[in-house]
Amino acid sequence: MTISIEPMTLEDLEAVARIEKEAFEQPWSVQSFRTELIRNKMAHYLVARVGDKVAGYGGIWVIFNEAHLTTLAVGRPYRRCGVGTALLKALMKKAAELGARRISLEVRPSNHAARSLYEKFGFTIQGVRKRYYFNEDGLVMFNNNLDIDGETNDEPVS
Protein backbone atom coordinates (compact mmCIF):
# COMPACT_ATOMS: atom_id res chain seq x y z
CA MET A 1 0.00 0.00 0.00
CA THR A 2 1.37 3.39 -0.99
CA ILE A 3 0.66 6.20 1.47
CA SER A 4 1.08 9.82 0.45
CA ILE A 5 1.04 12.70 2.93
CA GLU A 6 -0.28 16.07 1.79
CA PRO A 7 -1.53 19.30 3.33
CA MET A 8 -5.22 19.12 4.26
CA THR A 9 -7.48 21.21 2.03
CA LEU A 10 -11.08 22.34 2.33
CA GLU A 11 -11.97 19.63 -0.21
CA ASP A 12 -10.78 16.98 2.29
CA LEU A 13 -13.15 18.07 5.08
CA GLU A 14 -16.05 15.69 4.34
CA ALA A 15 -13.74 12.67 4.38
CA VAL A 16 -11.95 13.98 7.48
CA ALA A 17 -15.30 14.49 9.26
CA ARG A 18 -16.31 10.87 8.51
CA ILE A 19 -13.10 9.54 10.03
CA GLU A 20 -13.43 11.95 12.96
CA LYS A 21 -16.92 10.65 13.78
CA GLU A 22 -15.84 7.01 13.72
CA ALA A 23 -12.68 7.69 15.75
CA PHE A 24 -13.83 9.96 18.58
CA GLU A 25 -16.70 10.06 21.07
CA GLN A 26 -16.79 13.86 20.87
CA PRO A 27 -15.81 14.65 17.28
CA TRP A 28 -14.79 18.02 15.97
CA SER A 29 -17.25 19.57 13.53
CA VAL A 30 -16.49 20.31 9.89
CA GLN A 31 -16.66 23.98 10.88
CA SER A 32 -13.96 23.46 13.52
CA PHE A 33 -11.61 21.99 10.91
CA ARG A 34 -12.53 24.74 8.44
CA THR A 35 -11.70 27.39 11.03
CA GLU A 36 -8.37 25.71 11.79
CA LEU A 37 -7.45 25.67 8.08
CA ILE A 38 -8.57 29.21 7.30
CA ARG A 39 -7.99 31.25 10.44
CA ASN A 40 -5.45 29.59 12.72
CA LYS A 41 -1.98 30.63 11.55
CA MET A 42 -0.38 28.31 14.14
CA ALA A 43 -2.23 25.27 12.75
CA HIS A 44 -0.82 22.81 10.24
CA TYR A 45 -2.96 19.85 9.13
CA LEU A 46 -2.04 16.91 6.93
CA VAL A 47 -3.96 14.08 5.32
CA ALA A 48 -2.74 10.61 4.44
CA ARG A 49 -4.00 9.27 1.15
CA VAL A 50 -4.12 5.74 -0.13
CA GLY A 51 -4.86 6.13 -3.80
CA ASP A 52 -7.42 8.92 -4.00
CA LYS A 53 -8.97 8.15 -0.57
CA VAL A 54 -8.28 10.08 2.62
CA ALA A 55 -7.11 7.34 4.97
CA GLY A 56 -6.25 9.53 7.95
CA TYR A 57 -5.33 13.01 9.09
CA GLY A 58 -3.50 14.85 11.81
CA GLY A 59 -2.69 18.34 12.94
CA ILE A 60 -0.29 20.37 15.02
CA TRP A 61 -0.12 23.86 16.38
CA VAL A 62 3.36 25.37 16.46
CA ILE A 63 3.91 28.20 18.93
CA PHE A 64 7.48 29.49 19.10
CA ASN A 65 9.66 26.44 19.79
CA GLU A 66 6.87 24.07 20.87
CA ALA A 67 4.41 22.01 18.90
CA HIS A 68 1.18 20.49 20.13
CA LEU A 69 -0.44 17.53 18.38
CA THR A 70 -4.09 18.55 18.22
CA THR A 71 -5.51 15.47 16.52
CA LEU A 72 -4.55 12.28 14.74
CA ALA A 73 -6.97 9.68 13.38
CA VAL A 74 -6.97 6.86 10.85
CA GLY A 75 -10.02 5.41 9.11
CA ARG A 76 -10.92 1.86 10.16
CA PRO A 77 -9.95 0.15 6.89
CA TYR A 78 -6.45 1.67 7.11
CA ARG A 79 -5.60 1.03 10.76
CA ARG A 80 -2.50 -1.04 11.50
CA CYS A 81 -1.24 -0.43 7.95
CA GLY A 82 1.32 2.29 8.70
CA VAL A 83 -0.94 5.29 8.09
CA GLY A 84 -0.74 6.57 11.68
CA THR A 85 3.02 6.10 11.71
CA ALA A 86 3.41 8.01 8.42
CA LEU A 87 1.23 10.85 9.68
CA LEU A 88 2.97 11.17 13.04
CA LYS A 89 6.38 11.11 11.39
CA ALA A 90 5.30 13.81 8.90
CA LEU A 91 3.78 15.97 11.65
CA MET A 92 6.93 15.74 13.77
CA LYS A 93 9.06 16.61 10.76
CA LYS A 94 6.82 19.59 9.97
CA ALA A 95 7.07 20.76 13.59
CA ALA A 96 10.87 20.61 13.44
CA GLU A 97 10.92 22.46 10.10
CA LEU A 98 8.86 25.22 11.72
CA GLY A 99 11.35 25.55 14.58
CA ALA A 100 9.75 23.41 17.27
CA ARG A 101 12.16 21.74 19.66
CA ARG A 102 9.56 19.51 21.34
CA ILE A 103 5.99 18.32 20.90
CA SER A 104 3.18 17.54 23.32
CA LEU A 105 -0.21 15.86 23.17
CA GLU A 106 -3.04 14.52 25.30
CA VAL A 107 -4.31 10.96 24.97
CA ARG A 108 -6.88 8.85 26.77
CA PRO A 109 -5.34 6.27 29.13
CA SER A 110 -7.65 3.68 27.52
CA ASN A 111 -6.39 4.40 23.97
CA HIS A 112 -3.70 1.74 23.99
CA ALA A 113 -3.11 1.80 20.22
CA ALA A 114 -2.41 5.53 20.20
CA ARG A 115 -0.27 5.36 23.33
CA SER A 116 1.80 2.57 21.79
CA LEU A 117 2.37 4.63 18.63
CA TYR A 118 3.39 7.71 20.62
CA GLU A 119 5.72 5.71 22.85
CA LYS A 120 7.33 4.17 19.74
CA PHE A 121 8.18 7.74 18.69
CA GLY A 122 9.70 8.64 22.05
CA PHE A 123 6.77 10.32 23.79
CA THR A 124 6.68 9.90 27.56
CA ILE A 125 3.92 10.64 30.06
CA GLN A 126 4.67 13.85 31.92
CA GLY A 127 1.33 14.56 33.60
CA VAL A 128 -2.40 14.01 33.81
CA ARG A 129 -5.24 16.42 33.00
CA LYS A 130 -8.14 15.38 35.22
CA ARG A 131 -11.37 14.73 33.30
CA TYR A 132 -9.85 16.20 30.14
CA TYR A 133 -12.15 14.01 28.05
CA PHE A 134 -15.18 14.68 30.31
CA ASN A 135 -15.46 11.05 31.37
CA GLU A 136 -11.76 10.18 31.34
CA ASP A 137 -8.47 11.80 32.26
CA GLY A 138 -5.99 12.86 29.61
CA LEU A 139 -2.39 11.73 29.77
CA VAL A 140 -0.03 14.56 28.84
CA MET A 141 2.83 13.21 26.77
CA PHE A 142 5.94 15.01 25.53
CA ASN A 143 8.71 14.25 23.12
CA ASN A 144 11.73 16.51 23.58
CA ASN A 145 13.54 15.22 20.49
CA LEU A 146 12.02 15.71 17.07
CA ASP A 147 14.84 13.67 15.48
CA ILE A 148 12.97 11.23 13.27
CA ASP A 149 15.35 10.97 10.32
CA GLY A 150 18.70 10.69 12.05
CA GLU A 151 19.23 14.45 12.26
CA THR A 152 20.23 15.35 15.78
CA ASN A 153 18.22 17.72 17.88
CA ASP A 154 20.44 17.85 20.91
CA GLU A 155 20.11 21.48 21.93
CA PRO A 156 18.49 21.77 25.35
CA VAL A 157 14.86 22.80 25.51
CA SER A 158 14.23 25.72 27.81
Question: Which residues are catalytic, by number?
Answer: 106, 118
Q: Strands 102-107 and 53-63, how do they pair? A: unpaired
| Rounded-to-integer distance, Cα 64 and Cα 136, Å | 30
CB burial string 133-148: b at 16+ within 10 A, e below: beeebbbbbbbebbeb
Report the length, in residues, of the chain: 158
Largest CA distance in the chain: 42
